[in-house]
Amino acid sequence: MNCYRLLLFVTLLLAGLPTRAQTTTRVVRGQVRDSSGQALPGATIRLVSPRDTTGTITRDDGSFEMPHVTEPRFNITVFMMSYAGFKHDYSFSPTDTAATLGTIVLRSDIQQLKAVTVRGSPLAVTFHGDTVEYNAAAYQVRDGSNVSEVVRQLPGVEMDHNGKVTAQGKEVTRVRLNGKDYFGADVAKALRNLPASIIEKLQVIDDYGDQANLTGIKVGEPQKVLNLTLKPDKSSGVFGTATAGAGTGNLHLGGLNVSRFKGDRQLSLSGDMNNSNAGLFSFGDNGGISGSDGSNAVHNLGFNYRDAFSKKLTGYGSINYAENRSLVTGTTAQQTIDGSYVNVNNQQNRNTGHNRSYAINYNLEYKPDTLNQVRFSPGFNRSRGETEGISQFHIAQNNLHPVKISDGTNTNYSDNDNTSVNASLMYNHRFRKKGRNFNINLTYGNNTMTSQQDVRTLTHLDYVDSLAMDTALHQQVHAPAGSNIFSSSLSYTEPVGKTSVLELAYNFSRNNNTSSRETWNIDPDDVKTRVDSQSNSYHYTFLSQRISLRYDLRGTKHRLLLGLSALPQVLSGASTHPDFTTRTPQFSFSPNIHYTYQVSNSRSFSFSYAGNPGQPGFMQLMPVTDLTNPQYPVVGNPGLKPSFSQSVSLNYRSFNVQKGNSFFVGMTGSLTNNSVVANILNDSAHLAGMGSTVIQEIRYVNADGARSANVYYNFSQPLWQRKLTFTYSGTVSYGNNISYMNDLAQRSANTSWNQSLRLRLNLPRLMDIEANGGFNSNNVHYSTTGGFNTTTNTLFVELYARHYIGKHMILGWNATKSVNSGLSSGVGANPTVLNMYVECQFLKGNRGALRFQGFDLLNENTGIYHSVNGAVITDTRNNRLSRYCMLSFSYRFDKFGF
């Protein structure tokens, strides 16, 4: 009976619950667009009611959806950067299961409505055609950090600890500030010189050149450019950093970076000097050791200037000076695969150098009205380099039984002086009819070079079945050279309908080159004898024209460029010894296709195809022996034919505005017919006829079938409000290379895998930690039957950390470990590099910092390199500066708004 009563009680209790369990819930849906009707992905939506508080972000098409909303009355707030906020109360029937809000329109306005107090996360990544735009506010860095700390966090962008920046698998070649070049091609200096706090957006641009930027017709291989836009309230002020440090072993560093911005006027001065192989101290850096080989004493000075002299006239440019004294020692093992055997050249090298360079580049832009633009860009470059290399070599032939061929010492001193002057003049006229445009560009360049060489070689020969013998060779070479280059381009575009443009373009280029080479043998009594067979004077001219017709279809989301070019070209030249004259005309067609599909602001796809002819160089045509390296003389082939290459590329980029992840994938492929390849002659009979010191002679031949393919991918997923970021990236590449050994063709299939996984934890008040691990694998398979295939593997782990102790102390460390296999004997190493530092910040706003740092505490820093070029495999191990300590002081200053 008690059980029945209990059952009845439970039944009655459950019967009273349906009114709550069956409470109507509804899905709230809507669209967010701007005043022109364009969808706005990434807008922040917030719903507030007495019982519900929830939120979401709009999808790629601007739509949003919030399920399980219990209250029929609620308030919706919409926020997005650069748009006026939206706030509205909604009321629906309690029985409605769907609440459709319709289209919410946001008006463009940099001032947000005062009634809207909700602030959403800014959209981190957007795509605009060939540009990937990052919002700096989405990437948190510690106060006082420079912009490089933001760059390291960008999805699809990698920055190594030497300052090299790679975006979507390609190196960034220059930095621009508000669309104008900043410190020329010195990317590391530009990023180091700018504080992160003044940057609003970072744009990775596929730059097709000035003409493409004005006409919109994009042809050729683009360069990766990083454009930085300033925050409006940071356009006037002064900022910079001063640094000084001293370390063990008489090491030192010092530098000054200072900038003054005032509206359109921007001045920046950057100078540094150090002999520690480390980048200049800066707030927020990781304290890592540089990857430079050897020991280097560096002096750099740069000045960047920009100003608007009037509303119509603007000028900007830079002056740079660089000096470097270096000492590098190392071991090299070079294998040349030849049928059933391998020639191995083991070398112990010591190289010293002293290089100086000066560069002045300027741009003057005149815009008399909105339809016309003139730009004049002069430049001057001067470089002087003195190098001395000593190499002890041991050459052997490895088959079933290793056989020694020769050993000896090679000493090479060279003094090179290079001066170049260049200028370009561009005029662009935009007609009042939309799409009609005329552009002309004239460029001139003059380059002169003088080279002096002193080469000494002592060789002990020990051929199979031959008497051993010693030889000595001492030569001096004087080789002046010069070139004059003139080029011009004209482009006219005409609209065809409302969505397409037709372009007719003409390009002309004339390249005149002169060179002479005087070679002298020096006997033991220092008597000079001119070597006529190795001396020569020659000149050549390469004349090229390109007539192009292109059709550009521009839709809302689609863009298609179809082009065809006719290329008449002539290479002509003559030499005095031997008496050689050549004139090689060529006529070919070059098609190109470029297609872009802008799915949305957060997804895009592109495809490109191009075919281009190529001419052999004059030195590859000239039948003269070049004995710069007596072990590897070079002889040209006057019968070479022009090559033709076809290339294709695919790129897909996406950013999920709701989850915050990004995905980049790029694929490239190429096929070349009549490519110019080396033919290495190595038979004893031929060597005997060429002289006792010759080991391998390099000639040139044409070959078909050279092809390559490469895939790059990068997936990045931020978590925990971008405090934790997971990134997986990699490349897979394949190359089918053709080479010749003793007039016999052989193929080498080169496959490489490079994979990495990176985790970054960013807690600006507590710590920054980055862990990176992966592997690189390279396999080379030769078509010959000797079985001399090679596989090299590298496993690596990298850890970088900064721990913030209170408001004024930082403890930092980084460690890298590499495990290498498959390298040549005597070259392989598995270095572990550990660096640590402790830093104390003081003065108002932590503007001053004192740091004590220990580099390479385990004393294992070493440079390891592996390269494959046809039949030649080279492994190198070079020394690097290791184990030292340094005490440094840095002071940061900034003031804006004046």
How would DSSP label each residue in 244-278? EEEEGGGEEEEEEEEEEEETTEEEEEEEEEESSSS
DSSP state of 148: H
Quote the longest CA-to-CA distance of the chain: 130
Q: Which amino acid is at 287?
A: G
CA atoms within 13 A on the CB side of 398: 14
Task: Count the neighbouring beta carbons within 10 Å of the beta carbon of residue 581.
Answer: 10
Per DSSP bridges, beta strands 643-655 and 603-614 are antiparallel
Distance set, CA 634 to CA 391, 641, 797 (Å):
19, 18, 42
Nearest to residue 174, comparing CAs of 217, 207, 139?
A: 207
- The predicted structure's pLDDT at residue 312: 93
| Domains of the chain with bracketed CATH | 26-106 (2.60.40.1120), 125-234 (2.170.130.10)
The answer to whether 184 and 174 are in contact (CB under 8 A) is: yes
Q: What is the dihedral of CA 9, 14, 19, 24, to 10 degrees?
A: 170
Q: Which amino acid is at 277?
A: N
Q: Which amino acid is at 865?
A: Y
- The predicted structure's pLDDT at residue 339: 62
CB-count burial class (<10 Å; 0-12, 13-18, 19+) for 578: exposed
Q: What is the mean pLDDT of each run of 10 residues along the chain (898 residues)?
A: 42 40 73 80 79 73 82 84 78 82 76 37 71 86 84 84 80 86 80 86 86 74 87 86 93 91 89 78 46 87 91 92 94 79 85 95 94 96 95 75 73 95 96 92 96 88 62 89 94 92 95 89 90 83 93 88 92 79 86 88 87 80 71 81 90 82 92 89 51 66 92 91 88 90 84 93 87 93 73 92 91 92 83 93 90 92 84 88 92 85
CA dist., res. 867 & res. 715, Å (int): 28
- The predicted structure's pLDDT at residue 687: 45
Q: What is the dihedral of CA 615, 616, 618, 621, to 10 degrees?
A: -130
Question: Tokens for 648?
Answer: 């294709």
CA dist., res. 849 & res. 808, Å (int): 9
- The predicted structure's pLDDT at residue 692: 42
Q: Which amino acid is at 691?
A: G
CA dist., res. 804 & res. 809, Å (int): 6
- Residue labelled with tokens 């509804």: 26
Beta bridge partners of 725: 718, 760
CA dist., res. 776 & res. 783, Å (int): 23
- The predicted structure's pLDDT at residue 771: 94
- The predicted structure's pLDDT at residue 186: 79
Distance set, CA 245 to CA 272, 281, 425, 697, 851 (Å):
11, 9, 45, 51, 9
Sign of the torsion angle spanned by Cα atoms 282, 287, 293, 295: positive
The answer to whether 156 and 172 are in contact (CB under 8 A) is: no
* Helix ranges restricted to H, 160-220: 187-193, 210-215
CA dist., res. 806 & res. 836, Å (int): 19
Task: Count the neighbouring beta carbons within 10 Å of the beta carbon of residue 740.
Answer: 20
